[in-house]
Amino acid sequence: MAMAVDAQQKKKAAKAMLKYATGKHWDPSDCPDWKPQDYSMSCLSRTILKDPPPGIVVIPDKSDMTQLHALITGPDDTPYEGGIFRFFIRCPPNYPIHPPRVKLLTTGNGVVRFNPNLYSNGKVCLSILGTWEGPGWVASMGLASLLISIQSLLNDEPLHNEPGLEKESLSPIGRPEVEKYNAYLVHETLRVAVCDTVEMCLAGSLNLEIQEVVYEYFMNMFDHYVATAEKNKCKDGQLLENFLVACGMCMKKTDKFNFASLRLRLNSLKSQILARGLCQEPSTASCLNLMEYYIHV
């Protein structure tokens, strides 16, 4: 009976996710229903976030006050630790009556699903965004509330964010699956949310404000990255198992763990940053933690 219930829960969750993954009007880069002339100065003034929450950097788009770029760092003691996750945000003409639209840009070119609520196409599934079921947005909320909600998804056991797989509903085999998914996330965080992000900065694909933050954070987290790669190198050669694939929640991949390769990439990126004079080697006294670093906009 329990197995049948679990199967029904997974089927229901998969259908619900398909509905929200393909729903219209969630992508901030495609807002034909929002006209520039519809924005008021009152709305534009509310898009300014003076004091982002810890671990979050907000950078305004200089050409459009309704657009924002947010960097959220993976919290300590989670599989996301040290990752730099980029989000593109756009506020509607009637903000804050209605919520912004948000897209995750850190997806490994649309391949990696970093969380049950963060799709590989960049969709962020939260009830306050209207992209998932549950309590919706209220006008008293703002960008800080939204960013904290997104940050809370990056927790120590994100598989439990999946409907039907909450802690209280997991079967006895749930713990190994949580650990497999976490191992997958640790690898992909290093590969995509760290190495790929720094490489994009070095290639000039991201704006200068983002580059400055990324270089500084990378250099100060470098020892953590290397330690993580060293700790997990015993997994090299094993398949990158993603439990969400088994549930039919994302595309199948046949990649394997390769922390040795990531270690080489990390060393190469550090050497390039130092050789170009983009950031100095951090000292204990001057070490900068992005958790306490804000860009005021």
Could you list the active site residues? 125
Separation of alpha carbons 2 and 18, rounded Å = 24
Phi, psi of 47 (to 5 degrees): -80, -5
Concatenating the DSSP letter of every residue in 129-143 gives GTSSSSS---TT--H
Separation of alpha carbons 279 and 265, rounded Å = 17
Give the E-state strand segments of 105-227 in sequence order.
none
CB 55 within 8 A of CB 75: yes
- 181 Cβ partners below 8 Å, 6+ apart? 158, 159, 241, 242, 243, 244
Separation of alpha carbons 288 and 292, rounded Å = 8
**Which contiguous run of DSSP H or E holds residue 59?**
strand 56-61
Closest CA to 115 of 143, 87, 156: 156
